[in-house]
Amino acid sequence: MTLVDLRSDTVTKPTAAMRRAMAGAEVGDDVYGEDPLVNALEERVAAMFGHEAGLFVPSGTMGNQIGMRLVCQPGQEVLGDAEAHVVTYEMGAAAAVFGLSTRTVVSDGGVLSADQLISQVRPFGNWHLTPTAAVAVENTHNRAGGLVQPLEELEKLFAWSRDAGVSVHLDGARIWNAAVASGVPLDTYGRLADTASVCLSKGLGAPVGSVLVAGADRIAEARLWRKRLGGGMRQVGVLAAAGLHALDHHVDRLADDHARAKQLAERLGVDPAGVHTNMVVLDGVAAPMLAAAAKGEGVLVSEVSATRVRLLTHLDVDDAGLDRAVEVLAPLL
């Protein structure tokens, strides 16, 4: 039975061409700063986002957590959306590892509202209040179904933050999807954040890796944090090669994933207007039963809650996979 895995875009396997690029990678010891492809990847991604420097990290979680630590000191707070990945799925790392406090706002469906966040920011210099050092934004927003954040709101928040002395961290795990869907250039998104973590291992199809981008001084400090966390890696150019290959070949094709997600929604009777990028959310379903029945037929879906299922399109879901998914899921719905 062919398996169609719609649980996440992280499940992709490296393509044959990506594996060839990895096999042929020239490598060096990256802890000495001597891995040529890691250096090339860091420089390239930093430039793509309009930042001075980049740091290759093993995961989006490490990129986010170090990124937030760079702009927030222990005992200060990061403000973000209640459904943000950084506060939902990162095991309380901000508090557990770095001593950062987090506070959240319940937004309208995950859509970033600059005014709402700004109204919740707490000032420095007050003896009673935990000061808000940074705001974390997520684009696309995972738990909001791959939502692309409105550019005007990002601009408003960033403009305000300059005068307020508050930093902005971008969780850009799927910023590539946001850019392809909205047409907003990557460097526009990048320049609206002080620190940004972008993932190579989601829609771009690399097996491992994220890049944290920021100013050069901040990235120098990030390098220390990565080492402290055990994230100093050695001949890791084999992974950077996968990332560079993904940047060359897998960014524009995200439009195909987005088109297939819309098609999937339409064919399952879900309003395609609710599909922003590569995610389809099925609400009001008996999620455990649906997931188990679909699995029995070789279609894997993600249970977000008892009544919500999430389907993601990605590099390893082609038209035949899409047809099979519809064939299995439509009768179950």
Ligand X SMILES: Cc1ncc(COP(=O)(O)O)c(C=O)c1O
- Residues in the site for ligand X, rule: CB under 6 A? 10, 59-61, 64, 85, 138, 142, 171, 173, 199, 201, 210
Q: Please identify, using beta-carbon distances, which residue of 60 and 237 lies nearer to ligand X.
A: 60
Q: Give which of 78, 30, 72, 76 is closest to 54, Cα–Cα.
A: 30
CB of 306 to ligand X, least distance (A): 21
With a CB cutoff of 8 Å and minimum separation 6, the contacts of 189 are 49, 139, 154, 170, 172, 175, 178, 179, 196
CB of 222 to ligand X, least distance (A): 16
Question: Among all residues, whose Cβ is closest to ligand X?
Answer: 60
Q: Please identify, using beta-carbon distances, which residue of 59 and 307 lies nearer to ligand X.
A: 59
CB of 18 to ligand X, least distance (A): 17
Q: Please identify, using beta-carbon distances, which residue of 195 and 328 lies nearer to ligand X.
A: 195
Q: Please identify, using beta-carbon distances, which residue of 131 and 177 lies nearer to ligand X.
A: 177
Q: Please identify, using beta-carbon distances, which residue of 85 and 169 lies nearer to ligand X.
A: 85
SS3 for 72?
Answer: coil
CB of 139 to ligand X, least distance (A): 9
Q: Does residue 260 contact residue 313 with C-beta atoms inside 8 Å?
A: yes
CB of 165 to ligand X, least distance (A): 26
- The whole-angstrom separation of Cα 304 and Cα 7 is 10
Q: Please identify, using beta-carbon distances, which residue of 10 and 267 lies nearer to ligand X.
A: 10
Residue 266, class by beta-carbon neighbours within 10 Å (0-12 exposed, 13-18 middle, 19+ buried)? Answer: middle
Q: Please identify, using beta-carbon distances, which residue of 85 and 324 lies nearer to ligand X.
A: 85
Q: Please identify, using beta-carbon distances, which residue of 149 and 161 lies nearer to ligand X.
A: 149
With a CB cutoff of 8 Å and minimum separation 6, the contacts of 175 are 139, 140, 186, 189, 196, 198
The DSSP line for 100-169 is -EEEEE--BTTB--HHHHHHH---TT-SSS--EEEEEEESSBTTTTSBPPPHHHHHHHHHHHHHHT-EEE
CB of 59 to ligand X, least distance (A): 3
Q: Give which of 235, 222, 208, 197 is closest to 37, Cα–Cα.
A: 235
- The whole-angstrom separation of Cα 99 and Cα 112 is 26
Q: Does residue 72 contact residue 131 with C-beta atoms inside 8 Å?
A: no
CB of 45 to ligand X, least distance (A): 15
What number of other Cβ atoms are within 10 A of residue 205's Cβ? 25
CB of 143 to ligand X, least distance (A): 8
